[in-house]
Structure 1
Amino acid sequence: MFKRYCVLSGLLFLAFYLTGCASISRGGRTRSDETRTSREQNKVFTGNPGQKIIKAGEFIAFEKKRVILGSCWDFINAVYNEAGYTENKRVVVFKGSQNGPYANPGELKAGDWVMHINIEFNNVEHSSIFIRWVDRGRKIAKVLDYAGMNKAQPGGYDEHTYSKIFCIVRPTEE
């Protein structure tokens, strides 16, 4: 299972590296990595795994306003790591392809890492963190994400149409 996850992670990395939300320079380092205080590095997020992910994302985006240069993938990965959900604490709950099959959006849980076709921006592949439904019938979700493309801005809230979800990764305590 772990080998399959590593292969999947590598393939997803390449997919996002070659798409519109990929960064030009890799690494996912923040401008303030070297200056973060030990209090920030030891921040503890409470709640269930999904709540921890959302709290960590809000901490990075709104409280610290950390800029994570790179892709949407780099931002989501940094949020998961900040919340304590490194690669070995993540589970792939759905894996399709960019051309389908697509996941049932009703399977999403708050805090899920959702890889989807960004209907709102040129139909490119995109990663975001699912927060809640704005309009479940129209598959419009409130999300936490980053625009990618090496933009020097922190992540933030957005709304995306989740009609073409090709991968769902979920934090796990196991």
Structure 2
Amino acid sequence: MDRRPRGPGPRGRHPAARLVSGTFASVDALLDHARSTIDRYPPAAAARLVEDGAQLVDIRPAWQREADGEIPGSLIVERNHLEWRLHPDSGAAVPQASHDQQWIVVCTEGYTSSLAAAALTSLGLRAGDLEGGLHGWRDAGLPVVAGPTAVEQVVTG
């Protein structure tokens, strides 16, 4: 019986998972590929980038933001609208959308944000994600405020 750990994060990844016949052999392989195309930022580095003009974008649904809180200054764009709202040429872009804007995508633990940031980079946008997600940010002692903030609004706090 194979007793290797399964899944992402603390349970580990299969190093042998790879692209097979034009598809990924596992979700872990898909995640590894996505992460190979983006920059990932530890919380302190992300906070410095925000001070220099990068924009955090929280892609979590309202129920997660209500349960765990939000990072002040984050733009709220739920995952299902992300590409349309952040690409300046989509016709449905938020006012902050620009080809020059650096985006740091935030989810709960830093998995979905990697996939979302990779989708944004495939559109030519400057995007990376927050390592550890909101939980990593909070664990680093950085501020979190109560949510949920309305979609496509900036979190104040």
Shorter-chain TM range is under 0.3
Q: TM-score, normalised by structure 1?
A: 0.23
Q: Give the greater-gyration-radius structure (CA).
A: 2
| Structure number having the greater strand percentage | 1
TM-score, with structure 2 as normaliser:
0.24
